[in-house]
Structure 1
């Protein structure tokens, strides 16, 4: 079998790049793409803004404090989707095995291709010329290492690296550099005496399993050495569809929550009907003001996508839970589609700080 060659393609500061194409007069200025509500977060920021410590998922208020001179633009998701379709359409014209992982990133399997690196460089140059979007690329024997590598040379990075070299290069950095190891897990590892990836690579598997559980401990050990054999798949089948919202101010009134849930259930039913998709499991998600997150689910007898059933079950679940504190986020979800296997039991609740499986970024 030929040695695997996997590429991770990541558009640099994608939303900000699209906005700069529309507003070239802002080039060179710090730019933040974020909403305007009190709980708005940064979608992305230009590299000029990142020099001030502004980053994705940071609260918009904190971003403005760090970089008060930045230009803030509300996100235009329709424009981003249109540019994304053009970018990945060009990529698929040249590469056969492409798995889109988000609006601004994708994996490509280049195994067996003759001279894959020159081919990829030419493709990235063509995308930049035709769309104005710059892609950074990581090339490696696996998806995991390729994703890490694509971030090492940003912006306009092109990094080809092997697993062992990448593990050694990152040994002095926080374990958070590895996708799948989040901040809470990294904090626990630091408490155990493993503050860097190099320390984690030398940690006994048994000790990790004792702290994080058998499967998660083994997964942490594998991830620390950057082992990964997951394939690049060309089709991504949706396992569920959902609709959720984070409120600008916490809501304690149960009647108001029900009204919002009915509206979201109606929108979700309409989306399922447009796709011709039906599911058997209807669930709600409630995040309280102390960040406790609770899910409740019910599986009905037949596959449905009608508004009455989805709303009816969702409202019953909300009433049965009766949130004991003001609610920060509310959502409704439909899963177990017609071609899916039977659903696994829903978790009852997730208190703040609880480790979930699998480990999340």
Structure 2
């Protein structure tokens, strides 16, 4: 029996990352006792919690609010009660009088915004900043994104998106939702489909089943007025727009907007991910055709390790960079990903130096399980000859094996990579 035909991946793999109920989630880190409760952000400073004599906190309730303020955001529990962002707080109090009311703290939100974006940039540096809680990411050329996992041609990009989600959570303690599709328009929609903590990967083949049944407002660019006009014309879903004649759409909505409605409903969008920033890091990685063991496959692993470092050195030379922070990435059987990094006193760019630094990182990893992926990264980039403001080098901490670690587990020495 012949193997099933694997459809080619799209030319572009664009992700939209949206933090889940961002402001409210940041506040829940500060007030964990509110987890699972309806909470609305948007109050004044005098709505800050007060400390009771017994050490517990007393929170303001929405029913006691008076004024003309609006909700900045709300937790999902509050949304279940009908309270959403931009809703007047007096109106929200009628729907959820017992909801907790907290003041906004934009300085704190901006801090967490910087944290999550830096975490993403370490993995996928081509980012378009769309605000405090959302970004577009071009994954098209990120190492591993186009590698199939088994019979799943999208397995590599799924694993990459999971890695981004895990990195965001590790850096912030917050969850995010990611949609990955061939373009920005579809990815924006996809990131909303499985919230919170969602991961949705769609191709053009998924448009009829996942996109066309949605209400027209789900397309970013169809506002309340356009949606009302579409509804009045008997069009309520994206699929109904797609089925409409382009000329009819132009006659009713004008040449430009009508043509755009037709294109958008079919999931067409050629806008690039726009970024003018310098890369944060450069990486090379590979997924093995079979899982490799540190002892039994040490020669093969050594050759792969050397080649990755040489590829990375060539990338640095081609792009004109050097770097001080060398990182190692390993994915073990079961999709467990481990990373280690080391910051040096001076920037490096040659393959041998990169290999030595990455080897130092490797000494800090338990290699008893089989490997399915190996990657090397270099960050803290600069141009040769640039004046550097050097941070102290970060040395690998001295440590003893934990109680759950096998002291005889194979490490760098048994790999004989050097």
- What is the TM-score of this pair, normalised by structure 1? 0.62
Q: Return the alpha-carbon distance in structure 2 between the equivalents of residues 205 and 119 of structure 1.
A: 38
CA deviations 1:32-59 (Å, max 9, x no partner) are 0114573322111101111111111222
2:164 and 2:247 map into 1 onto residues whose CA distance is 45
1:290-301 aligned within 5 A: none
Partner SS state of residue 222, structure 2: coil
- Aligned counterpart, 2:261: 220
Partner-residue secondary structure (3-state), 1:118? helix
1:142-181 paired onto structure 2 within 5 Å:
142-181=183-222
Structure 1 residue 100, shift from structure 2 partner: 1.2
- Superposed, 1:346-361 pairs within 5 Å as none
Matched residues, number: 236
Partner of 2:23: 15
- Check conservation: 1:18, 1:80, Cα contact below 8 A: yes
User: How far off its partner does 1:119 sit?
Assistant: 2.3
Q: How does 1:71-220 map to 2 (within 5 A)?
A: 71-113=100-142, 114=144, 115-220=156-261
Residues 71, 7 of structure 1: alpha-carbon distance in 2 compared, 3 angstrom cutoff: same
Offset at residue 167 of structure 1 (A): 4.2
Confirm whether residue 55 of structure 1 aligns to residue 84 of structure 2: yes
For the 8 Å contact 1:167–1:224, the answer to whether it is kept is no
SS of the aligned residue for 2:72 comes to strand
Q: Distance in 2 between matches of 1:39 and 1:167?
A: 43
Preserved contact between residue 42 and residue 103 of structure 2 (Cα < 8 Å):
yes
Q: 1:167 to 1:176 in 2, by over 3 A?
A: farther
Contact 2:16 2:179 (C-alpha < 8 Å) held by counterparts? yes
Give the superposition deviation at 1:164: 4.0
In structure 2, the gaps of 5 or more residues are 1-8, 45-65, 145-155, 278-418
Cα distance in 1, alignment partners of residues 21 and 167 from structure 2: 18
Residue 68 of structure 2 corresponds to residue 68 of structure 1: no
Other structure's SS at 1:234 match:
coil
> In the TM superposition, what is the alpha-carbon distance from 1:221 to its structure 2 partner?
1.1
> What SS is found at the alignment partner of 1:18?
helix
Instruction: Tell whether the 8 Å contact from 2:161 to 2:199 is kept in structure 1 after alignment.
Output: no
Deviates more, 1:36-45 or 1:75-84: 36-45
Q: Which residue of 2 aligns with 1:259?
A: none
| Cα offsets for 1:191-243 (capped at 9, x unmatched) | 1121222211111111211121111110111111121111001139xxxxxxx
TM-score w.r.t. length of structure 2:
0.54
Deviations 1:89-116, CA, capped at 9 Å, x for gaps = 1111111211111100001111133133
Contact 2:121–2:127 (Cα < 8 Å) also in 1? yes
Deviation string for 1:268-295 (max 9, x for gaps)?
xxxxxxxxxxxxxxxxxxxxxxxxxxxx
Q: For the Cα contact (< 8 Å) 1:14–1:104, is it kept in 2?
A: yes
* Larger Rg belongs to: 2
Q: CA deviation at 1:11?
A: 0.5
**Which of residues 14, 18, 29 in structure 1 aligns to 2:37?**
29
CA distance in 1, matches of 2:183, 2:166: 24
Q: Following the alignment from structure 1 to structure 2, what is the Cα–Cα distance between the partners of residues 181 and 235? A: 28
Q: 1:229 aligns with which of 264, 270, 274?
A: 270
Question: What secondary structure sits across from 1:32 in the alignment?
Answer: strand
SS in 2 for 1:125: helix
Give the C-alpha shift of residue 118 in structure 1. Answer: 1.3
* Cα contact 1:38–1:61 (8 A) shared by 2: yes
Greater mean deviation of Cα atoms: 167-176 or 149-158: 167-176
Q: Secondary structure at the match of 2:15?
A: strand
**SS of residue paired to 1:88:** helix
**Separation (CA, whole Å) in 2 of partners of 1:87 and 1:207:** 44
